[in-house]
Structure 1
Amino acid sequence: MPIPDNAIEAMLPKGVKDFLPVKAAKIDFLRSSLLSVFSLWGFRPVIPPSLEFLHDLERGLGAGLREKTFRFDDRQSGKLVAFPPDITPQVARIVATRMREMPLPLRLCYSGRVLRHTEIQAGKDREIFQAGVELIGLESPEADAEMIAMAVECLKNLGAGEFTIDIGQVEFFRGVMENLPVSGDRARLIQAAIARKDNSGLKELLADLPLTEQARAEVMALPRLFGGREVLQKAENVVSNDRSRKALSDLKKVLDILEVYGVEDHVTFDLGELRGLDYHTGVTFQGFLTGFGRAVCFGGRYDNLTAAYGYPAPATGFAFNLLNLLFALDKRLDELAVCQTDVLIFQSAPDKELAQRLAQTLRKKGISAARDIIPRDLEGSLAYARKMNFRYVMILSPAQDIRLINLTDGSEKSVSYPSIQDESFVL
């Protein structure tokens, strides 16, 4: 009697999942495709641990991630340890403590899983699959542009159709806000209204503040400064403070370099995007696929992070959320990440030596092969092979003749054992 789905779900904590072979193959395809692009751009892998001492980990976490960290007592050390909620702080620690004698810049990449506390509601994952890069030691707009161009190339390499990279600049916002007579709860409410694009709510929050017309105009413009490259010119016409204007100058340099890479058509701007305001120090960006409401990648500049571990260095990077990519590209991945085994070998005779040797021969050629060890008739083996997504069934007779059945179209041909051993043999 099958176990009901709701009973299976009750066996796991909320926010984590089992991934069966088809989905697991898609996740593996996503990971390997991203890592191949990272490698082409000169990034080398690091593998951080699954546990860190909480005190050390928290040095590199913003307030939001600190609240989402799983922590518990380590009986061996007597200290609090934690499952990292993000891999970037781990890479920052590794650079600051293990790689500080190496010449800059450092191009590092990774893939792994992190855990985060989330609200107990549908659609919130506690376990997040990440694959990303960190570029340590460069503060130029070219480094920011490299991250964005890489993210575009990754999405193209995965066969994504329509997508955009939405670029922000937290220094632009800080320049607008730094001289306003506001702090505490009021400042947080203003920030939230800008992030929501709530013009009327923002106007109410500013109504009783003693602002110059210029300062009021700059703040009120923030929710409207999103769109194509024309946004940069609109922003330049609005702001007068030096900090925001420098941020705009940096963005223009980034856009110029993205045009060299030929990826500018995938770029939009949102100068009211305030994600990671307590963490990022410059350009930020998110990747969105058309028709999917959640970002599939997040990135940006974080020049203060390695300094938390005693090694100041400018840095930028990005990471893909593989589960968001999986859901966004699920149908497309049916074509790209097919979970198949090439050959099931059927032999009814008592002596299985030939079947075992044949399987070894196929594997040495890079052809995946398994022998149907369970005793059953040919029809049973064919039914099993179809259900388990084999491409072919090889049927061995006592006379060592071999029938090869193509399960895709039902066609059949005879092959000899010597021909399979030949270097030119292909299925």
Structure 2
Amino acid sequence: MAEQNTDSTGVPTVGVALLGMGTVGREVLRILGQAESDFTARIGGRLEVRGIAVSDLSKPREGVDASLLTDDALSLVRRDDIDLVIEVIGGIDYPRTVVLNALRAGKSVVTANKALVAAHAIELSDAADSSGADLFFEAAVAAAIPVVGPLRRSLAGDKVNTVMGIVNGTTNFILDAMDKRGASYDEMLAEATALGYAEADPSADVDGFDAASKAAILASLAFHSPVSFDDVHCEGIRNITAEDIRAAKAAGCTIKLLAICERLVDGQGGESVSARVYPALVPLTHPLATVSDSFNAIFVVAEYAGRLMFYGNGAGGAPTASAVLGDVVAAARNVVHGGRAPGMSTYANLPVADFGEVRTRYHVDMKVQDRPGVLAEVASTFSAHGVSIKTVRQEEDSDGARLVVITHHAAEKDLEDTVEALKKLDAVKNVRSVLRMEGN
């Protein structure tokens, strides 16, 4: 707490340190200034930005009081007049040091840093618990979409079984445009870059790393168990082709990059957690299939609440700032009035399941010889590995035949083994693509 926590009129004040002045940081500062009286009324005290940490002091920042700027975030959060820290720097190592120092000093932290939370959620939460500070990170998962709060509070009396969602706007824009226009991945990545959806280096998005960080956070919250980024099986969308999109349509589906968090139960009733990210076929009847452009959506299945879906802008300066400031209001209220928000509970401590044990379905597209007995050989290969076939579609091809097989649910390791065995069959010229199916 600051030594002086009221202004000259006796109104309580909350000293704020803003770390980062990128797209989100600028929006946070703008909205704080624009709606100052509203925030005071909502909090019961006045927010006062007392320092802003930036990486380059020489960079001009129009409308920002230069006396507030510093390039030493660590010293800023250690100041006695700082009660609340807003971290929107990004990255992991340095923000971790700064945020831990703030929390250990009893200063509440609001962060939008998904990579930091995914990598060090338990350490940060323990530091907050030890000092009695608050740690908020609504903006770290899906910007303006409120899902962290519902998982921590609204569904605290329920049992969440599945959290599945589209949590990366860039990849959804690319896949949605490929679906609607029949364009290639490379064409749509170039357009996404030109529009500012994709960075110059799009790896974090298109390789699934951004979604994997968010999946780790969601799984930890939903299942009250520690799940880190390294626990998440991760695949991206670079290999998705226009032909894959056409095959998905023929199966009554669309392709989405999904973050999937599941509570698994084995034959003896033992529970474990699965967190994974990959492109998958989603039936057009599923609510997630309708999520278009760069929008995000998170689908939750709970024991008593049933099916819920949270939808909206999952990225961008203003939407992310909205989520940050929602957390700021909650944290500042606690500074002014006392009390503390629910912490990050990991009491269940469920193990992370081996990816090979996860049960899913495969859509296998292969080129085969056009002769009698081929279908029987293929079906026998699936059967030999304990995988049941749901549907088969056969089409004539220029120099053979095309066979598309959709399986029933089976263990991932059995499905993988089946595909490897298919590749060795003389009857199979090549396995053109293998995609998972989710949502049914």
Q: TM-score range by the shorter chain?
A: under 0.3
- Highest Rg: 1 or 2? 1
Structure with a larger share of its residues in strand: 2
TM-score (norm: length of structure 1)? 0.25
